[in-house]
Structures are given as structure tokens and as C-alpha cells.
Structure 1
């Protein structure tokens, strides 16, 4: 088998490439940029409105780990967040959620499993975060960790769905994840998670999220700079120039 990377003849067979828009990736280009003096900013969303919400309790337990690592953590309270599309985007809870998304560098999403899927409360929060807003993509480039709580035996339906949503929102979902079965057994009367293999896995997930967030900070603009979008910007610029002539 020939080595494509070392054979220069392949570099000459790109007739459809716009070479002035083709960036050659290089390690030096991954040097972080911008102000990174602040602690990593992590937004946490949970998917239940119950008074004793196990998704909230798991989220709070994870927040303690992240705070210990040095992150600045904010947990969004989904109470009184209207259904997506039912009110103007100027609603105070919508503005709060979107401001937190813009502020964040990473997310943690944690939902109960209901009827084999994520809850409406969880999906509603994600639905209110736009893919694009005034030229800004509020979720693109953020790292993401996903977790779920189960009322019965362990399942991965929720974390799989959250991964799909994270990809759609152009987020970097870390490989590890947490699924806690029979969650009602895993928390004490004070709402603290009991020691267990599930607790240890949650710590693993937060540790991994923190590491990936440190790696991504100041680099996401370059990592997400795409050839197709550079082509599109160039075409629009040329179109405007022609219109002025």
C-alpha cells in the first residue's frame, strides 16, 4: 500500500480546491489566544422540576467536583422557562439562559429518562439555545459532558440522545458519560450522593470535562474554522463587491 501523505503527486490532484481558502493545519496554529486568566466557565442544565429532583442532585454533586477543580460553575434553574416558541425571545428566563450559554466555555447536561428518552424540561432548555444569533453561535466550540438518572435499571438512552443534540449544537462532547440507575437509592436524606461506583464515574466525567475544557480554551475559533465556510464568506464578499460596481 502506498503512503499517500508522502507522495507529492497527490498534492497536485486537487482541481476543485480553492487554494487561497485552504488552510494547512499546523501545531503552531493551536497556540491559545484571548484572555484565559479567568477560571473555566461551566454551565449546568438539569431536566426535572420535581422538588426532589435526582437529576438536579446529581448536577449539584458534579458542580461541587468542578468547583473543587477551580471552575466557575452556574446551574440554570428551568423553573418558569416557557415552552420554546410560546413567548418572545425577550422573556427574562430565555434571556438568562442565552446569556449563560454565551458566558460558558463548557456545559453539563443531566436528564432523567422518561418513556425511554430525555424529558421535555431538558429538551426545552436546549431548544431555547439558538444555533446562531446575530452572527454568534452560542454553543459552538463548547465542551459538553452528558449524564442521566434512571428510575429503574441502567439505561443509556438519554446520554445517547444528549450526544446527538450536542453534535447538532456543534459542541465537543467528551467520551466519558454517567448513567445512574435506581437513582432514588444513590442519595441520602440531605441530597448528597452516596459513595459508590456511580459516584466515582461521575467524578471521572467531571475530571475529563475539566481537562478537555482546558485544552479547548482559546483554540476553538481555529479548530472550528472551516474551508466550506471560508468559501462561503469569500463568495458573499465578492457578490457585495459586484453589486457596488
Structure 2
């Protein structure tokens, strides 16, 4: 099954508990059931810094009361490689997006852009599927990792893609420069301003997901879609 398990889900050594709020969206709307967040990363390397960032994000989301699922893209075919997209990994990715209320996308920057692995996952998510829309109305947080100095090319592209997929991309974002310096030998992120920004982004994602939860259906109710469906 193309899901990654989350190692040490409750261990947050870089988080200062004096300043962390377990329920960052309290008072903003109904937070029961827990927000459902799907996380995607964009590298298949054994030591993938985009995956390690996503794992840190997932731990923080669970600390903030969310449910998380991390998709493993290692068996995902290329778009149009399999007739009718009839492949277990494609089915699983789409089912996870339908399950979700929000997404986290984290891509490395390669040749100044998102990776092919990242784009392949997004390309496998259709705008419409059997009368359902697996991304429309979901919240989205975008992150990137870079081998060199800080850049925002990947997060800018992910924002464009999120808009195209009719998602509500939150204002905050994370860009981790020289990512190879930011993780210890066990794959855990060291305390830093980069880690603190990921905390900020995940707090904000939970807040926006809770705020929008009661209104999502109305916010994405479109004249053109009602007309196409013959629905007044």
C-alpha cells in the first residue's frame, strides 16, 4: 500500500512546548472530527529531505490535533502510462485526496523548479472524477527544500498548481535552504528558524482548514458546474 508510516510520531525535540498550542484553531470553528491532511513529497532518494520535511510537518499536524496520511510515490506510474489510470497507486492517491480536507505539498527545487515526482502526483489528481472533485475546496500548504541558498521557485509553482486545482492555498509557506545541514543523522530536523517556520505553516494550515470547514461547499458552488449538471 503506497502509504508511509510516520516514525516517532509524538517525538518533537525541536519544538519548544512553552510556546506551542495544542489546539491552534480553538474558537474558529468545529475541530471535531480532527482535520484530515494528506502530505505529498517530491523525491525518491533514500535520504529525501522533502520527505523528512513532510514527516516533521505530519508530526506537528498530529500534535495540533489533525489526522495525517503520507503518500509514498515510489510505485506511481507516469501520467497516461497505464490505460485508464488503472493502477493501485493512482487509485490510492485519489482516494486519499477524496478523504482529505487539506494537503501539504513539499518539493525539492531541481533545475529551478519542482521535481517530476512532485508534478506526477499532482497530474494524477483530476479536477473531476465520477462527479467528485478530489482537490476542489481543500486547503493547501506549500513547502520546498533546496541544496543551495534559499529560493522560492518551487513554492511559487506549487501555489500556481494549487490555484489550478481549485484549492485554498494558505498565505504562509516554508523554504528550507541547504537542507542537508538542517537534519541530524537520524533524519530529524534540528532547531532553527527553518523549523519554526514549518511550525508556523502547520498551525496556519490547521486554522484555515477549521475556518473553512463549515463553508467549503458554498465557497466552491459554481454557476458553470450547476449548469453542466442541470442542477438549479
TM-score grouping bracket, smaller chain normalisation: 0.7 to 0.9
> For 1:146-165, what aligned pairs fall within 5 Å after superposition?
146-165=142-161
Question: For 1:9-65, what per-residue CA distance to the aligned partner results, in whole angstroms no more than 9, with x for missing partners?
Answer: xxxxxxxxxxxxxxxxxxxxxxx89xx742110000000000000000000001110
For normalisation by structure 1, the TM-score amounts to 0.79
Tell me which residue corresponds to 1:61.
56
Deviations 1:167-212 (A, max 9, x none): 0000000000000000000000010000010010010000000000
Aligned counterparts of 1:42 and 1:171: Cα–Cα separation in 2: 13
Range that drifts further, 165-174 or 211-220 = 211-220
Matched residue SS, 2:79: coil
TM-score normalized by the length of structure 2: 0.84
Structure 2: gaps of 5 or more residues:
1-28
Distance 2:119 2:231 in 1: 37
Alignment deviations for residues 115-172 of structure 1 (CA, whole Å, 9 cap, x no partner): 0000000000000001100111110000000000000000000000000000000000
- Aligned structure 1 segments of 4 or more residues deviating by more than 4 angstroms: none
2:184 is matched with 188
Following superposition, the deviation at residue 237 of structure 1 comes to 6.6
Deviates most, 83-92 or 43-52: 83-92
Change (3 A) 1:206 1:237: closer
Pairing of 1:1-245 with structure 2 (within 5 A): 37-88=32-83, 89-233=85-229, 236=230
Using a 3 Å threshold, how does the CA distance of structure 1 residues 158 and 135 change in structure 2: closer, same or farther? same
Partner of 2:8: none
Give 3-state SS (helix, strand or coil) of 1:218's partner: helix
Unaligned runs of 5+ in 1: 1-31, 239-245
Distance 2:201 2:119 in 1: 21
Give the greater-gyration-radius structure (CA): 1
Q: Number of matched residues?
A: 203
* Residue of structure 1 equivalent to 2:18: none
Bigger helix share: 1
CA-based RMSD of the aligned residues comes to 1.7
Q: Secondary structure at the match of 2:63?
A: helix
Cα deviation, 1:50-96, whole Å, max 9, x if unaligned, reads 00000000000011100001100000000110101101322000011
